Structure 1
Amino acid sequence: MAFDFKKEFKKFYKPSGNPEIIEIPRMNFIAVRGKGNPNEKDGEYQKAVEMLYGVAYTLKMSYKTEYKIEGFFEYVVPPLEGLWWQENVENKNYLLNKELFNWISLIRVPDFIKKEDVEWAIKCATEKKKKDFSKVEFFSYNEGLCVQCMHIGSYNDEPKTIQRMNEFVQESGYSIDLTDKRHHHEIYLSDPRKADMNKMKTVIRQPIKK
């Protein structure tokens, strides 16, 4: 059976609906960076997601090609994730204006996948699909100490969950630590094209410090 990150690492992908403090280790991803409203039809974000999945599945199916990745084992492509921030915006207001978003769209890759493997997949996907995948990059992220919570419902209702997380952090003797290198983090466990908006599951994670 293929290795499934969501099942093997439930503490990272299936937190409860109550905020909790957790240490997140370094993880490797493929990533695309961009700016602007993620809801814009055929916009930069939508194109980034398409690029990510194109490279993700090229890596996943590499064992069926002549290109062999050392240590490879079959795995389920992990869920889409995103790091989000805005320039010069107070922490409590950074989700309000989607046009001002900076983002890094992510899909996790197993540790056996290295930068050169991602470069091969970009080249392979470009040749096969006749599209430009050059914005995809290998991205290593050491997230560190965070507060996380499962958000159920629309993305527009996230501020309510974030408010609960912020209150929990303060009561626990910590503070939110959003910086130019530590960002608001979301993991998308539901497909918004198919799921009931009121039942969508999103892991929300915020960096914290003592």
Structure 2
Amino acid sequence: MEKTNWRQDEKEIYPLKKTPSITTLPKQNFITITGQGDPNGPEFASKISALYPIAYAIRMAPKKGIEFPGAFEYTVYPLEGFWTLAEGHREGPLDKDYLQYKIMIKQPSFVDRSVFDRAIELAHDKVAPELLSQVKFERFDEGLVGMIMHVGSFDDEPASFAQLADFLATSGYQRTSKEHKEIYISDFRRVPEEKRKTILRVSIEKIK
């Protein structure tokens, strides 16, 4: 059986070049968990740790003799996250304590709620109960988006967002929300700050 790999097979969804791009995304399924606060703190790290055991429980199920209908081999998708600021804290200097996030890992097409529920059971001993109860299975339709690859520290993202904004304006588009998505191509827990690769994605519309 041929193994699918998001890096090769989904280049429009996960563009790995530095050139900004525009695309319309299909509906996609994710396992998710939400929170608020400084992403450098322990709570954010614990929430990430709740997602991976579930994602790998699905990926590794065949090795345990569990065959999900329509399942195929695939590379586990990267961590992603929607980011915004709490109401009343969206103007002025950034206060990371008020950052709100929904972090997630995309799931292949065969994963539905029944597969997710089975994965929760399989990951039961690897995730704290209070975190496991917060993980959800959700479907998103992000629609028309603009994206750019950012290389470096998260604190330096404004320069990449400015480059993306210029590209969108020149192309006749504008953002529809201050919320944005980050896709962590590099594992920021292991890769040095200056080498981190992160896709920045925003929802857009044609300028009328």
TM > 0.5 between the two? yes
Structure 2 unaligned spans of 5+: none
> Displacement of 1:2 after TM fit?
2.6
> 1:125 maps to which residue?
123
Alignment of 1:145-164 (within 5 A): 145-164=144-163
> 1:52 maps to which residue?
51
> Displacement of 1:130 after TM fit?
6.2
2:184 to 183, 188, 201: 188
Inter-partner Cα distance in structure 1 for 2:17 and 2:138: 27
Alignment of 1:21-100 (within 5 A): 21-40=22-41, 42-43=42-43, 45-88=44-87, 96-100=94-98
Inter-partner Cα distance in structure 1 for 2:49 and 2:92: 25
> 1:206 maps to which residue?
202
Inter-partner Cα distance in structure 2 for 1:124 and 1:18: 40
The worse-fitting range, judged by mean Cα deviation, of 128-137 and 78-87 is: 128-137
> Displacement of 1:32 after TM fit?
0.6
Residues 1:175 and 1:113: Cα distance change in structure 2 (over 3 Å) = same
Inter-partner Cα distance in structure 1 for 2:193 and 2:127: 34
> Displacement of 1:134 after TM fit?
1.6
Letter paired with 2:191: A
Structure 1 unaligned spans of 5+: none
Residues 1:95 and 1:52: Cα distance change in structure 2 (over 3 Å) = farther
TM, length-normalised to structure 1 = 0.89
- After superposition, what is the alpha-carbon deviation per residue over 1:58-110, rounded to whole angstroms, capped at 9, x for unaligned? 1111123354310011111111000111133687x599221111111010100
- After superposition, what is the alpha-carbon deviation per residue over 1:38-62, rounded to whole angstroms, capped at 9, x for unaligned? 111x22x111110100100011111
Aligned-residue RMSD, C-alpha? 2.0
Inter-partner Cα distance in structure 2 for 1:145 and 1:130: 35
Residues 1:30 and 1:94: Cα distance change in structure 2 (over 3 Å) = farther
Tell me whether 1:141 sits opposite 2:140 in the alignment. yes
Tell me whether 1:4 sits opposite 2:2 in the alignment. no
Inter-partner Cα distance in structure 2 for 1:94 and 1:49: 28
Letter paired with 1:77: V
> Displacement of 1:157 after TM fit?
0.4
Q: Contact (CA 8 Å) 2:177, 2:203: kept in 1 or not?
A: yes
TM, length-normalised to structure 2 = 0.90
> 2:164 maps to which residue?
165
Aligned residue pairs: how many?
Answer: 203
Q: Contact (CA 8 Å) 1:27, 1:140: kept in 2 or not?
A: yes
Letter paired with 1:145: L
Inter-partner Cα distance in structure 2 for 1:189 and 1:105: 14
Letter paired with 2:114: E
